[in-house]
Amino acid sequence: MEFIAPVPAAQVKDEVYAALDLARAQVVDWVPDGDAGKPAGQREVYRVLEDVHTLAGPRKRDPVLRVRRVLVHSAAHAKGQQAARANRLAKASAELDKLVAAAGGRHYKTREKIAARVGVIAARRRVVSCLRWHITEADGPRLHWHFDQEALETEAAADGWYALLAGIPRTTAGPAQVLIHYKGHGTVERRYHDFKGPLAVTPVFVQHNHRVAALIQVICLALLVFSLIERQVRQALGPQQTMAGLYPDNRRVRPTSRMILYHLGELTLRIGTVTDPPMVQITRGVQLHLLELLGIEVTRTRASHSPESAIFEAAAQTPLLGHTAVPSPPVPSSLNVPA
């Protein structure tokens, strides 16, 4: 089967990453959505290398598997690790210097108490691998410590690197394409959230396997429609894919299917008679705006008797030429919108 999965950090030592040549890595032609509006020099940069990873089973007779391993370097991730390390070293230095001054005093009279405190500081500040220390007994216990620069350089050389395992053939996707596929997992996870959240999928007991398959198919069709509604609205909004009126503070956000259906769910249909045809009642401008973005034409509407009735009545009688033709009045502050 084809798969892409991250490698646990414990399975790849820092020495492996430190030995990699960043200059030989391939630059990935991909920009995160959050960096799309930034200048080229401030955008996230990804580089990839590829080798082979060996997976051994828990038993000796298990076959040894060899799979593709894509080594990824993230510039932003490297900067974050460097800043975190500097912060850890600064805090550890301050605590160790304080312990040096207190060694031999009332609270740290013995070697054992000093050693125990050093162990706590090293573990809490995560400097066990680079901290070197010893205690002398001249004129009472005295602590001496320093950071191993070679260990720090090895750790720094591994900054920004992580690994992915891929079960996809090289002829299908190169290392850069594997990373791009992996970066799309956020969208998949969000659809799982929709699957379990807004769609309210709950366990159902069925008697036969074909009924299980039918139930899953119906739910997946509902998820497909749910996703296409969001896609249609965002594409109709243009490149920025944001609109106002979905929340009480009227801020501009990217519409989600949950918010779209929340507002459209308040639409009501007045049942007509022989002489009076049925009418869709629109109470807010954002509802008309969403219907327009979805390409749903409401030929006859009946607005409620409110101060905005004239606006809604005029908007309903105006041909929908574009998503900016009908303004979206602010949502009333009393509207209770779920987070």
* CA–CA dist 167, 286 (Å, integer): 46
* CA–CA dist 159, 76 (Å, integer): 10
What angle is formed at CA 313 by the lines to CA 310 and CA 315, rounded to 5 degrees? Answer: 105
- Residue where the block lists tokens 């007045």: 270
Per-residue tokens: 290? 């969403």
* CA–CA dist 182, 177 (Å, integer): 9
Per-residue tokens: 321? 């030429």
Write down the pLDDT at residue 65: 87
What angle is formed at CA 331 by the lines to CA 328 and CA 334, rounded to 5 degrees? Answer: 170
- Which residues, other chains included, contact 229 with Cβ-Cβ below 8 Å and sequence gap of 6+? 257, 260, 261, 294
- Which amino acid, residue 116? A
CB 318 within 8 A of CB 297: no
CB 253 within 8 A of CB 241: no
- Which amino acid, residue 137? E
* CA–CA dist 133, 138 (Å, integer): 16
Q: What share of the chain is helix, strand, coil (3-state, %, to 5)?
A: 40, 15, 40
Write down the pLDDT at residue 300: 52
**Residue 102 host element (H or E):** helix 75-102
CB 121 within 8 A of CB 96: yes
Tell me phi and psi for residue 253, to 5 degrees: -140, 165
Q: How far is CA 4 from CA 20, 26, 74, 217, in A?
A: 22, 19, 18, 25
* CA–CA dist 135, 223 (Å, integer): 65
- Residue where the block lists tokens 């007994």: 137
Tens-digit pLDDT profile for the chain (339 aa)? 889 999 888 888 888 898 899 989 999 988 887 777 788 788 889 999 999 988 888 888 888 888 999 999 999 899 999 999 999 999 999 999 999 999 988 888 888 999 999 999 999 999 999 999 999 987 788 999 999 999 999 889 999 999 999 989 888 899 999 999 999 888 888 888 888 778 877 777 888 889 888 888 888 898 999 999 999 999 999 888 889 888 888 888 889 888 999 899 888 888 878 787 888 888 888 888 898 899 887 755 444 444 444 444 444 444 433 333 333 344 333 333 333
**What is the crossing angle of helices 285-293 and 257-264, to 10°?**
120
| Span between the terminal Cα atoms of the chain, in Å | 38
* CA–CA dist 284, 308 (Å, integer): 8
Q: How far is CA 237 from CA 102, 256, 264, in A?
A: 65, 13, 17
CB 326 within 8 A of CB 285: yes
Phi-psi domain of 122 (left: phi exceeds 0; alpha: psi -120 through 50; beta: other): alpha
